[in-house]
Amino acid sequence: MNPRYEGVLFDLDGTLVDTAPDFAAVLNRMLVARGRPALPYETVRKAVSQGARTVVALGFGEMGIESPEFEVMRQEFLVNYREHLADETRLFDGMAELLDNLDAEGRPWGIVTNKHSHFTNPLLKALGLDQRCRVAICPDMVTHTKPDPEPMFKACDVLGLHPASVLYVGDHLRDIQAGKNAGMPTAAAAWGYIPDNENILDWQADHALASVDALQALLRPA
């Protein structure tokens, strides 16, 4: 592993794990139950990094996202998602090997996500990652969420590492902003949930990576 990086922190959805299949399945079950057509998987996939509100708005946005009716749909989605959050969710291809390598080298890794701990913790347990992940910082654990640096600093404190020595990998502009705001080196994950109108090069991350294999290569000794 590259000695520049004493540890690695990941965003969760769209970076470490592919949660889009379960997001899409839950939303489409809600739509079909109401006699509406299911949405194409790719349409839902590109919205997952924006969170449940944006995903639900794909199917029920005509209600107005501030309306009580929409909030009912959002809460129903969250309840259903909690029951099915690990049906099809998996580590991205190549990520299992990458985590094995980090563990073998004694390099701690963890997660900084805007996904609530009510979902993050059971998901990590279902994937067998809860005992390996050294830290998982969720929005309900901090006062300010990404792109604020607070969760990044909190994660680095738990790891006992200086932010400048920890690589942060994410698939959203706010991930890169959060890392930079904390003085961390950053990597943009092109394998994640990138909207069609965004170019990860515009985020000005320290590294723009096309694949998990590219991240593996970045972490290898020179």
pLDDT tens, residue by residue, 146-203? 999 999 999 999 999 999 999 999 999 999 999 999 999 999 999 999 988 999 999 9
Please give the single-letter amino acid code of residue 134: R
User: What was the pLDDT predicted at 64?
Assistant: 86
Indicate whether 109 and 135 sit together in one domain: yes
In order of 24, 87, 125, 139, 149, the CA distances from 117 in angstroms are 20, 18, 12, 8, 18
- Is the residue at 1 inside a domain? no
Indicate whether 12 and 50 sit together in one domain: no
User: What was the pLDDT predicted at 3?
Assistant: 55
Indicate whether 59 and 110 sit together in one domain: no
Each residue's pLDDT tens digit, 1-42? 455 799 999 999 999 999 999 999 999 999 999 999 999 999
Last residue in a domain, options 64, 83, 102? 83
Indicate whether 116 and 49 sit together in one domain: no
Last residue in a domain, options 55, 83, 111? 83
Identify whether 157 is a catalytic site residue: no
- Is the residue at 32 inside a domain? yes
Indicate whether 204 and 127 sit together in one domain: yes
Share of the chain above pLDDT 90, in %: 91
pTM comes to 0.94
What mean pLDDT, rounded, does the chain reach? 95
Q: Which of 11, 18, 171, 175 is catalytic?
A: 11
In order of 26, 85, 175, the CA distances from 170 in angstroms are 24, 20, 5
Indicate whether 133 and 99 sit together in one domain: yes
Number of folded domains in the chain? 2
Indicate whether 110 and 29 sit together in one domain: no
In order of 115, 143, 157, the CA distances from 192 in angstroms are 15, 26, 27
Range of the domain at 134: 7-18+89-219
Nearest Cα to 12, choosing from 176, 175, 167? 175
Q: Which of 13, 18, 171, 175 is catalytic?
A: 13
Indicate whether 128 and 203 sit together in one domain: yes
- Is the residue at 75 inside a domain? yes
Identify whether 11 is a catalytic site residue: yes
Positive or negative CA dihedral for 63, 35, 195, 51?
A: positive
User: What was the pLDDT predicted at 145?
Assistant: 97
Indicate whether 14 and 56 sit together in one domain: no
Indicate whether 52 and 77 sit together in one domain: yes
Indicate whether 79 and 160 sit together in one domain: no
User: What was the pLDDT predicted at 222?
Assistant: 58
Indicate whether 203 and 134 sit together in one domain: yes
Alpha carbon distance 179, 210 (integer Å): 19
